[in-house]
Amino acid sequence: MKIAVVGATGLVGSVMLKVLAERNFPVSELIPVASAKSAGKEVDFKGKKYKVVTMHDAIAMKPDLALFSAGGNTSLQDAPRFAAIGTTVIDNSSAWRMDPSKKLVVPEVNAHVLTAQDKIIANPNCSTIQMVVVLKPLHDKYKIKRVVVSTYQSVTGTGVKAVEQLMNERKGITGPMAYAYPIDLNVIPQIDVFQDNGYTKEEMKMILETKKIMGDDSIRVTATTVRIPVMGGHSEAVNIEFEKDFDLTEVRSLLEAEEGIIVIDDPANLKYPMPKDAHNKDEVFVGRIRRDESQENTLNLWIVADNLRKGAATNAIQIAEHLMLKGLI
């Protein structure tokens, strides 16, 4: 399969190349794509060097599949150009996620919505992906009424500049700032820009995307998203109110039975998921499973995943794998 990776020199793009290689995705021809200033640079894939090309050149090469991770404006402009020549686009930006004509997909949750006619498919927000993977089996069994989520998100979610800011601060070096404030030894309760309702864009993404992916507008969601000085992945404290009561042993069994979920929940031995456990892994990790004793039919969970992998690159490639398996591309 002829595959274009748009944004191949970026943080998520480089992980996409790594995941494609690890999962032995059938790449017959790789087309790394980036901005004109990066054209001619080389990227490594399976021990071979590939020259980065421009968007114009990539479209002329008519790939079967294009994995986009180059920002919303690029996606809005160029994804339709690929789709027009028959290329299936899986886009990692927020550009198409809430477009009612586009599917927003986490394979473990709603891969069944995909058809051969879907030429632009949206990859959800990283923090939404890891949450809905866990919510799905619980919703099927107990029917979710309301979700309250607080996130603790890695600097890698912002990009290379944020990683450099954190590392510079740790070394006492003054350098470019990705954030309005220092991030080392600090917590910033803002991810993306503030909206008129006082929520950030990231928080509204989690609220709106969850409903769309779960296919249920009756689920009420509220979110607070926070940036913390870690690298390995995003963490979330999630409080879930159900219509039906639940048994904790059954909850654990439901989660353990799900492909793509690893339960680490042994507080007696101080066992619970942390970002360092999720780093470079494709699974979603769950722990701190307990009742909310302040309210009936309500559960508390702690969810951790590598935001560059399951939260971005891996999820996109899993969508592509599903499309291939079902003969949709």
Catalytic residues: 126, 234
Q: Is the dihedral of CA 91, 92, 93, 98 positive or negative?
A: positive
Distance CA 89, CA 320 (A): 9
Answer whether 219's CB lies under 8 Å from 211's CB: yes
Question: From CA 298, how far away is CA 132, in angstroms rounded?
Answer: 17
Q: Three-state SS across the chain?
A: CEEEEECCCCHHHHHHHHHHHHCCCCCCEEEEECCHHHCCCEEEECCEEEECECHHHHHHCCCCEEEECCCHHHHHHHHHHHHHCCCEEEECCCCCCCCCCCEECCHHHHHHHCCCCCCEEECCCHHHHHHHHHHHHHHHHHCEEEEEEEEEECHHHCCHHHHHHHHHHHHCCCCCCCCCCCCCCCCECCCCCECCCCCEHHHHHHHHHHHHHHCCCCCEEEEECCECCCCCCEEEEEEEEECCCCCHHHHHHHHHCCCCEEECCEHHHCECCCHHHHCCCCCEEEEEEEECCCCCCEEEEEEEECCCHHHHHHHHHHHHHHHHHCCCC
Q: How far apart are CA 273 and CA 63, in angstroms?
A: 39
Paired tokens of 284: 């979603």
